[in-house]
């Protein structure tokens, strides 16, 4: 399938006149249509809620759009909790699925009424010490170990992942939590990342549904919510078939009717914590070609770098690139598309066939709406760029300004160095 940007060249040229590249651009229309589809796909389950994984796109404007569709927030750190709280998400709309958690983060999560999803057996005691009690509503994260297989083969290796309780631990854990006064129990598992198959959630649902039936028998704890977490992926590559959330929702419903309803558990709520599926396709990184370098390979240097989008640099992830205005030209040039970091992995694409790129061409790097801006860092003292929302009516709104050198140096503000510093961008 041909991957097309959600914005036309004409529109993008207009936007660039107002906001110089590079920037992240988000598509409000796409975000809304997808959030609505998710809501409908699980509407068969009255308790359903998607807790958007804040780490994917921690922007208040984006979170507020998702809130209109009933989404809550899945947080894993103090600042993510602070953001959700500041946007007036209610306690029951905040899931705290953290790991290696500092005590003070449990304290804050408890204070704002978030649902705490424990990552480890030892955290039962740790949490009780930290907050002085065990909350009435509590969730535990399960890790089945081994390799996780579904009909189309091995998907991932949970046995190697740092997350979650073993089966024996989780059964023992619920018994202890119950003794300590917990009344409402949840279970969570995140076994495979970026799955591009409609079968992952239904398979995970089966694993968890069978387990909760066993937990009820062995511990007397009735699980009241089952959190399928994240892992529903997107088609980064043009030859992949995107997931169909309606098919996924229907697949989960079938397993629910097959296992939970006969076990007398037909009132269990299904939760999800998708990040990538909610946002990745509806954001892109817009950048301009500023150099061409021909040595042993042909390099196009752009004005964005791995600081804006790290996935290619850290995982060799594929992100599709469209050279705006050249969509119909033959892809007969082979390039590495690079950023300016002093790191050879700072490449958005390696040996990518593209139309001939000229200096000044605008490149759209697709599917950067999740785990894009948020994963960025400040290596080489590179500053983070702005985030722009393309609204439904075609207008734009800056939803985060670009960092300035003052932002970058502000943690030295208790020293003298700032008074001797020149700020060339402030003249």
Ligand X SMILES: *Cc1c(COP(=O)(O)O)cnc(C)c1O
CB of 194 to ligand X, least distance (A): 6
Mask: binding to ligand X, 368-407, rule CB under 6 A, as x and -? --x-------------------------------------
Give 311's contacts (C-beta < 8 A, 6+ positions apart): 317, 319, 371, 372, 375
Residue range at the interface with ligand X (CB under 6 A); choices 58-66, 169-177, 202-210, 228-236: 228-236
| Closer residue to ligand X, CB minimum distance, 45 or 229 | 229
Task: Give, as ranges, the residues between 42 and 61 that touch ligand X (CB under 6 A).
Answer: 53, 55-56
Mask: binding to ligand X, 325-364, rule CB under 6 A, as x and -? ----------------------------------------
Residue selected from 274, 302, 304, 390 as contacting ligand X according to rule CB under 6 A = 274
Spatial separation of the C-alpha atoms in residues 181 and 133, rounded to whole Å: 9
CB of 421 to ligand X, least distance (A): 37
Residue selected from 164, 202, 275, 312 as contacting ligand X according to rule CB under 6 A = 275
CB of 193 to ligand X, least distance (A): 5
CB of 233 to ligand X, least distance (A): 7
CB of 274 to ligand X, least distance (A): 4
The pair of structure tokens assigned to 139 is 């969730």
Q: How long, in residues, is the chain? A: 427
Q: Which residue is nearest to ligand X (CB)?
A: 230
| Closer residue to ligand X, CB minimum distance, 25 or 191 | 191
3-state secondary structure the chain: CCCCCCCCHHHHHHHHHHCCCCEEEEEHHHHHHHHHHHHHHCCCCCCCEEEEEHHHCCCHHHHHHHHCCCCEEEECCHHHHHHHHHCCCCHHHEEECCCCCCHHHHHHHHHCCCEEEECCCHHHHHHHHHHCCCCCEEEEEECCCCCEEECCEEEECHHHCCCCECHHHHHHHHHHHHHCCCCEEEEECCCCCCECCCCHHHHHHHHHHHHHHHHHHHHCCCEEEEECCCCECCCCCCCCCCCCHHHHHHHHHHHHHHHHCCCCCCCCEEEECCCHHHHHHHEEEEEEEEEEEECCCEEEEECCCCCCCCHHHHHCCCCCEEECCCCCCCCCEEEEEECCCCCCCCEEEEEEEECCCCCCCEEEECCCCCCCHHHCCCHHHCCCCEEEEECCCCCEEEEECCCCHHHHHHHHCCCHHHHHCCCHHHC
CB of 97 to ligand X, least distance (A): 4
CB of 272 to ligand X, least distance (A): 8
Residue selected from 77, 193, 288, 340 as contacting ligand X according to rule CB under 6 A = 193
Spatial separation of the C-alpha atoms in residues 206 and 232, rounded to whole Å: 16
Interaction of residue 190 with ligand X, rule CB under 6 A: yes
| Closer residue to ligand X, CB minimum distance, 158 or 231 | 231
| Closer residue to ligand X, CB minimum distance, 141 or 384 | 141
Residue selected from 27, 80, 110, 273 as contacting ligand X according to rule CB under 6 A = 273
Residue range at the interface with ligand X (CB under 6 A); choices 12-20, 242-250, 269-277, 402-410: 269-277
Closest CA to 310 of 239, 384, 248, 201: 384
CB of 341 to ligand X, least distance (A): 24
Residue selected from 231, 281, 283, 312 as contacting ligand X according to rule CB under 6 A = 231
CB of 141 to ligand X, least distance (A): 8
Residue range at the interface with ligand X (CB under 6 A); choices 84-92, 167-175, 271-279, 336-344: 271-279
Residue selected from 67, 206, 253, 276 as contacting ligand X according to rule CB under 6 A = 276
Mask: binding to ligand X, 72-101, rule CB under 6 A, as x and -? --x-x--------------------x----
Binders of ligand X: how many residues, by CB under 6 A?
Answer: 18
**Could you list the residues that contact ligand X (CB under 6 A)?**
53, 55-56, 74, 76, 97, 190, 193, 229-232, 273-277, 370
């Amino acid at each position: 399938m041909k991957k097309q940007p959600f914005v036309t060249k004409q529109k993008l040229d207009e936007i660039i006149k107002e906001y110089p590249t590079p920037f992240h651009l988000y598509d409000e229309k796409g975000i809304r249509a997808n959030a609505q589809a998710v809501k409908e796909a699980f509407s068969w389950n009255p308790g359903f809620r998607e807790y958007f994984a804040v780490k994917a796109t921690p922007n208040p404007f984006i979170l507020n759009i998702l809130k209109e569709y009933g989404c809550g927030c899945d947080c894993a750190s103090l600042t993510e909790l602070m953001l959700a709280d500041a946007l007036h998400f209610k306690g029951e709309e905040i899931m705290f699925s953290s790991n290696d958690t500092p005590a003070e983060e449990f304290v804050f999560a408890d204070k704002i009424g978030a649902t705490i999803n424990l990552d480890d057996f030892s955290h039962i005691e740790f949490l009780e010490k930290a907050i002085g009690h065990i909350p009435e509503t509590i969730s535990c994260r399960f890790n089945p170990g081994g390799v996780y297989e579904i009909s189309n083969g091995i998907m991932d290796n949970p046995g190697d992942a740092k997350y979650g309780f073993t089966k024996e631990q989780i059964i023992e854990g619920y018994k202890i939590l119950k003794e300590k006064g917990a009344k409402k129990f949840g279970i969570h598992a995140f076994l495979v990342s970026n799955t591009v198959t409609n079968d992952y959630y239904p398979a995970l649902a089966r694993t968890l549904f069978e387990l909760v039936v066993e937990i009820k028998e062995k511990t007397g704890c009735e699980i009241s919510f089952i959190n399928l977490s994240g892992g529903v992926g997107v088609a980064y590559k043009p030859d992949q078939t995107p997931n169909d959330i309606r098919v996924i929702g229907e697949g989960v419903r079938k397993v629910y009717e097959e296992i939970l309803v006969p076990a007398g558990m037909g009132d269990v709520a299904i939760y999800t914590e998708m990040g990538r599926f909610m946002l990745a396709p509806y954001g892109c990184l817009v950048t301009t070609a500023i150099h061409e370098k021909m040595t042993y390979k042909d390099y196009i240097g752009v004005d964005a770098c791995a600081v804006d989008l790290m996935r290619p640099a850290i995982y060799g992830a594929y992100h599709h690139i469209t050279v705006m205005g050249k969509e119909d030209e033959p892809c007969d040039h082979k390039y590495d598309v690079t950023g300016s970091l002093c790191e050879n992995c700072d490449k958005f694409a390696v040996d990518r066939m593209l139309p001939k790129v000229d200096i000044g061409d605008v490149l759209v790097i697709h599917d950067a709406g999740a785990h894009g801006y948020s994963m960025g860092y400040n290596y080489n003292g590179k500053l983070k760029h702005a985030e722009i929302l393309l609204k439904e009516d075609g207008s734009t709104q800056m939803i985060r300004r670009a960092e300035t050198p003052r932002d970058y140096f502000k943690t030295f503000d208790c020293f003298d160095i700032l008074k001797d510093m020149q700020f060339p961008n402030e003249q």
